[in-house]
Structure 1
Amino acid sequence: MKKNALINAELSYVIATLGHTDEITICDAGLPIPDESQRIDLALIPGVPSFIETVKAVLGEMQIEGVIMAEEFKSVSPEHHAALITLIEQEQQACGKTIRIDYVPHDAFKVHTQNSKAVVRTGECTPYANVIFQSGVVF
């Protein structure tokens, strides 16, 4: 369910049409995107937009109740992982609800992206900077 204003029309539309438990993926520039998934390509040049900037914009619009990340994210890109965890903790505080976090091997993560209504490609070039958000409800 949508929460606020987002300028990108395609991304805003996808978020506005999410139902409870629907998923979207936000990924780095290198994650393979399944042919069956809607692709929202925001990447301009390496690093633009960043993974964290994109996550912030999405969290400003989308109510989430679950998060899926690759296990490798923690050890290979700890700074980006910590920044994402901080944003999720802030979101929990803001909405007053617990957000479940699950970790899976990267290969399983890539397969799971096939369940996403959309995959949002950023310009991020940090390994494993990918997340799947599961839509929650605002009530």
Structure 2
Amino acid sequence: MKPNQILHPELAKALATCGHTDIIMVTDAGFPIPAGANRIDLGFYAGHPDVCDILQVLRQEIFVEEVHFAAEVKTHFPSLYKKVQEIYTGSGAVFRGTTHEELCENYAKRAKVIIRSGSLSAWGNFALVASTDPFAWFTEPDVKILPAYVERRKRIENNEVPEI
């Protein structure tokens, strides 16, 4: 066993196959996962594990440039919004508000992996857009850094709190 690493073999493998712009979804227990999706089912009992527990672990394992979730979270479930902000503060990720329908109909169909939690939290569904380490790329002196990487680096260096 590796210390401080994901122990679930299918989850570790799925994350290792992700590249820039791939979508990783983390959902509540009731999310309608499309047939044929790469489904990693971590939910084993109502509320366990919680969607925020999974997001926290993923925050340590993968680079994320965007976090998409239902915009209602900010106004209808502010404590969940605050937890997700805390998880992604200083990550460089930006928040994107969308609709539950968009998550179900579009993001889920495009997701490389969908991780189902045991969470019973309303609006507990998140689409993470994978990224690369913004400090590891564009390091050669004769390569011009892309503006998106400049911005992500600034958000990380400033320990920015993401907002919708």
TM-score norm. by structure 2 comes to 0.75
1:81, 1:129 within 8 Å by CA — same for their partners in 2? no
In structure 2, the gaps of 5 or more residues are 137-164
Could you list the structure 1 runs, at least 4 aligned residues long, displaced by more than 4 angstroms after superposition. Answer: none
Could you tell me which residue of structure 2 aligns to residue 36 of structure 1? 36
The share of aligned pairs that are identical, in percent, is: 26
**Shift in Å, 1:71:** 1.3
Residue 29 of structure 1 and its aligned partner are, at CA, apart by 0.4
Partner of 1:106: 100
Helix, strand or coil at the partner of 2:120 = coil
| RMSD, matched Cα | 1.3
Whole-angstrom distance in 1 between the partners of 2:38 and 2:113: 4
Q: Which secondary structure does the structure 2 equivalent of 1:126 belong to?
A: coil
Amino acid aligned to 2:57:
A
1:109, distance to aligned residue in structure 2 (A): 1.6
State the distance in 2 between where 1:101 and 1:64 align: 10
Question: Which residue is 1:7 aligned to?
Answer: 7
Aligned to 1:124: 119
Displacement of 1:77: 1.9
Aligned partners of 1:14 and 1:81: how far apart in 2? 26
| Bigger RCO (CA 8 Å, 6+ sep) | 1
1:76, distance to aligned residue in structure 2 (A): 2.5
- In the alignment, the residues of structure 1 paired with residue 36 and residue 44 of structure 2 have an alpha-carbon distance, to the nearest angstrom, of 23
Where in structure 2 are the equivalents of 1:41-120 lying within 5 Å?
41-90=41-90, 92=91, 98-111=92-105, 112-120=107-115
Q: Matches of 1:103 and 1:6 in 2, distance apart?
A: 28
The Cα shift of 1:36 comes to: 3.1
Residues 63 and 137 of structure 1 are in contact (CA less than 8 Å); yes or no, is this contact kept in structure 2? yes
The structural deviation recorded for 1:47 is 0.7
Normalising by the residue count of structure 1, what TM-score does the alignment of the two structures yield? 0.88
**Aligned partner (choices 128, 137, 149) of residue 133 of structure 1:** 128
Q: CA deviation at 1:58?
A: 1.3
Q: Distance in 1 between matches of 2:119 and 2:66?
A: 22
- Hey, what's the Cα distance between the residues in 2 that align with 1:65 and 1:8? 24
SS at match of 2:89: helix
Q: Distance in 1 between matches of 2:78 and 2:22?
A: 27
What is the CA–CA distance in structure 2 between the aligned matches of 1:110 and 1:76, rounded to whole Å? Answer: 19
Alpha-carbon contact 1:77-1:129 (below 8 Å) kept? no
CA offset digits 1:6-45 (Å, max 9, x no partner):
1111111111110111011001001110113211100111
